[in-house]
Amino acid sequence: MKTNGWFIRQRERFKCKESIALHGIVYGAALIALVMVGLCGLVLYQSREDAFERTRESSRNVALIAERDIVRNFELYDLSLQAVIGGLQQPEVSALPAHLKRDVLFDRAATAKYLEALLVLDAEGNIVVDSTSDVPREANFSNSKFFTAQRDNRDAGLFISDPLRFSLAHDMPSIVLSRRISHPDGSFGGIAMIAVNLDYFRNLFAGLSLGARGSASVIGHGGVMVMRQPYDVRIIGRDISTASTFRRFIAEKEGDFSDTASIDNVRRLYTFKTLPHLPFIIMVAVAEQDIYASWRRRALTIGSLMAAFGGAFVGLSAMLGSQLRRRMRAESELQLLARTDGLTGLNNRRTFGEILDLEWRRAHRARSVFSLLFVDIDRFKAYNDTYGHQAGDHALAAVAKCIGESIRRPGDTAARYGGEEFVVVLPNTPASGASFIAEKIRAAICDLSLDHAGSEYGCVTASIGSASWEPGSGMDVSDMIKDADRALYRAKAMGRNAVAVANPCAGEVAVDDAEPAIEQGLLLR
């Protein structure tokens, strides 16, 4: 049953507000959650960058400390070699007995840590002075690179060999530093050499915290691995000159980058530095997996908490929105109950007053026609007395349904005015249109064929009065209600079950003969 267009519009307006409120809460909560997750992600990203920067700075410091230590010690080794050569060039020293010559040439340098041997070789590569004994050990190094490099090039300067198994050092990995000894005429007279145990480099990097997959290395300019921590004897002496990482070491001299190692296929952050005046490259490598290990744990914890919080926030917001929706729906239902007649489902008299005032103002603004119908069930008191109040309620509901189904436009509104009387508001409807609708309502009620022994028609009927307002008529709302009521009286006077249209002049005549029913109640409706 169509009750009224006004309430339908109000309900649609409420549904729109309800939808906006619910979606606003949910979408707002989702937006807030996304912003929070975004901020959290930004913080985590910055934290990741900070972890990388801290590792890079730490690696640079390690490389710098290693550089200073190596440069300082190798300068001392070189000074020792130069001192030996300088002493040999003095006739007084050469004339000394072997034990005194050894003490003068080597002083305390031979006792330095990590020195495997400090020797003087003649032009044939034989040991002529040995730091460990007055009687030189028997060995020949004429085919060794540290010997031939000095023999074949008078300007070789300090030569540093690749790692080798030095025969006099119990076959332990060592590197040899050598300098040329020249006769006064410039001819080759032999070399002075120092064998340094690679444990020096091994202990230099021992104790560094580089992570489970980190490494620190000393690499020769030719690409030969001098030392690597963690230590693996199989790696010492390996040629890595074809590796992409080494090519970058040679090209850039100093810096850092990320790449995958050729030795173990682990991706690392490489920090490297070429040592000045020495054929070594210091390289510190930290696996990216170790760099971000603690960050990943932290990110997983924070991310999980944020996801849980965001989900809970959105869920609670959705629950709040649902509660708000139910509350708004309940308020709407209460509003409906407050504005609706419980028996007929039509608007009640209070709502009718608000709607009438609203439509009246709208008609004035738009300068449009406006009509009002008063519908009254004929001889309803007699019906109640004859059939009882329950049957009377049924008749009221049936009549209300007829009225509701007879008005089709969204703006048309019906209401129960009181007792057995109903009103219909018809915006944008001239008198002819209102008369047509009134006749339609009257016929529909008559077609119900509800028995009414007290009616001259034998069934329930209704009388309808119609009044219309046109721009410039000078009428107000109260005048229009009075005109509709006068028209209803005329319909009653015409024998009931009729429609009467208000005519101001005729109304005045009718009032002269008999006051309208709304004022006197003389006619039994």
Q: What is the DSSP string of 46-82?
A: HHHHHHHHHHHHHHHHHHHHHHHHHHHHHHHHHHHHH
Type of residue numbered 268: R
Alpha helix (H) residue ranges in 260-292? 288-291
Place of tokens 């008063």: 374
The pLDDT tens digits of the residues spanning 197-211 come to 898 998 888 877 787
Alpha helix (H) residue ranges in 89-144? 91-94, 98-106
User: What are φ and ψ of residue 180, in 5° steps?
Assistant: -75, 140
Query: Is residue 18 predicted with pLDDT exceeding 70?
Result: no
Residues 320 and 386 in one domain: no
The answer to whether residue 228 sits within a structural domain is no
Which residue, of 179, 197, 215, is where some domain finishes? Answer: 197
Structure token digits, residue 473 = 């008529």
| pLDDT value for 420 | 92
The answer to whether residue 244 sits within a structural domain is no
CB 455 within 8 A of CB 411: no
The answer to whether residue 270 sits within a structural domain is no
| pLDDT value for 519 | 40
pLDDT category of residue 94 using cuts at 50, 70 and 90: low
Distance CA 69, CA 75 (A): 10
- Specify the DSSP element, H or E, that contains 127: strand 127-130
pLDDT category of residue 513 using cuts at 50, 70 and 90: very low
Residues 449 and 411 in one domain: yes
- Per 3-state DSSP, what percentage of the chain is helix, strand, and coil (rounded to 5)? 50, 20, 30
Distance CA 152, CA 143 (A): 12
The pLDDT tens digits of the residues spanning 48-70 come to 888 888 888 988 999 999 999 99
| pLDDT value for 501 | 94
Which residue, of 134, 164, 197, is where some domain finishes? Answer: 197
Number of Cβ within a 10 Å radius of residue 65: 13
The answer to whether residue 247 sits within a structural domain is no
Angle subtended by helix axes 5-88 and 98-106, to nearest 10: 150
Query: Is residue 7 predicted with pLDDT exceeding 90?
Result: no
We report the CATH number of the domain holding residue 400 as 3.30.70.270
Structure token digits, residue 76 = 């001392």
CB 156 within 8 A of CB 185: no
Which residue, of 197, 226, 241, is where some domain finishes? Answer: 197
- Helices vs. strands in the chain: H and E counts, helices first: 15, 16
CB 461 within 8 A of CB 445: yes
**How many CA within 13 A on the CB side of residue 326?**
5
**DSSP assignments along 348-401, one per residue:** -HHHHHHHHHHHHHHHHHHT--EEEEEEEETTHHHHHHHH-HHHHHHHHHHHHH
Q: Which residue has the higher pLDDT, 8 or 3?
A: 8
Least confident of 192-196, 265-269, 370-374, 402-406: 265-269
Distance CA 223, CA 177 (A): 18
Query: Is residue 511 predicted with pLDDT exceeding 50?
Result: no
Mean pLDDT of 420-436: 93
Least confident of 99-113, 257-271, 460-474: 99-113
Query: Is residue 516 predicted with pLDDT exceeding 70?
Result: no
Residues 411 and 457 in one domain: yes
Residues 335 and 353 in one domain: no
The answer to whether residue 483 sits within a structural domain is yes
Query: Is residue 518 predicted with pLDDT exceeding 50?
Result: no
Residues 68 and 112 in one domain: no
The pLDDT tens digits of the residues spanning 246-284 come to 888 888 889 999 888 766 788 889 999 999 889 999 999
Distance CA 187, CA 144 (A): 19
Residues 479 and 356 in one domain: yes
Q: Which residue has the higher pLDDT, 521 or 293?
A: 293
Residues 307 and 371 in one domain: no
| pLDDT value for 463 | 96
Distance CA 13, CA 277 (A): 86
SS3 197: strand
| pLDDT value for 70 | 93
Closest CA to 5 of 409, 345, 440: 409
Residues 506 and 473 in one domain: yes
We report the CATH number of the domain holding residue 163 as 3.30.450.20
The total number of structural domains in the chain stands at 3
Calculate what percentage of the chain has a pLDDT beyond 90: 36
Residues 129 and 171 in one domain: yes
Closest CA to 280 of 218, 194, 373, 213: 218
| pLDDT value for 437 | 94
Residues 371 and 459 in one domain: yes
Per DSSP, 239 falls in state B
110 Cβ contact list (under 8 Å, min separation 6) = 118, 131, 132
Residues 27 and 147 in one domain: no
The answer to whether residue 219 sits within a structural domain is no
Query: Is residue 32 predicted with pLDDT exceeding 70?
Result: yes
Per DSSP, 279 falls in state S
Of 18-27, 190-199, 289-298, 511-520, which one has max mean pLDDT?
190-199
Q: Which residue has the higher pLDDT, 134 or 23?
A: 134
Distance CA 392, CA 394 (A): 5
Q: How far is CA 16 from CA 10, 279, 284, 328, 347, in A?
A: 10, 80, 66, 11, 22
Q: What is the dihedral of CA 173, 179, 181, 184, to 10 degrees?
A: 180
Per DSSP, 342 falls in state T
Domain range holding 313? Answer: 10-74+293-339
| pLDDT value for 23 | 66
Distance CA 213, CA 207 (A): 14
Strands 499-501 and 462-469: parallel
Residues 334 and 373 in one domain: no
Sign of CA dihedral 343, 344, 346, 352: negative
Per DSSP, 336 falls in state H
Strands 215-220 and 280-287: antiparallel
Query: Is residue 128 predicted with pLDDT exceeding 80?
Result: yes
pLDDT category of residue 507 using cuts at 50, 70 and 90: very low
| pLDDT value for 92 | 72
Distance CA 307, CA 309 (A): 5
Which pairs count as long-range contacts for 106-114, CB under 8 Å and 24+ apart, including other chains? 106/80, 106/131, 107/83, 109/80, 109/83, 112/76, 113/200, 114/196, 114/197, 114/199, 114/200
pLDDT category of residue 111 using cuts at 50, 70 and 90: low
The answer to whether residue 468 sits within a structural domain is yes
The answer to whether residue 5 sits within a structural domain is no
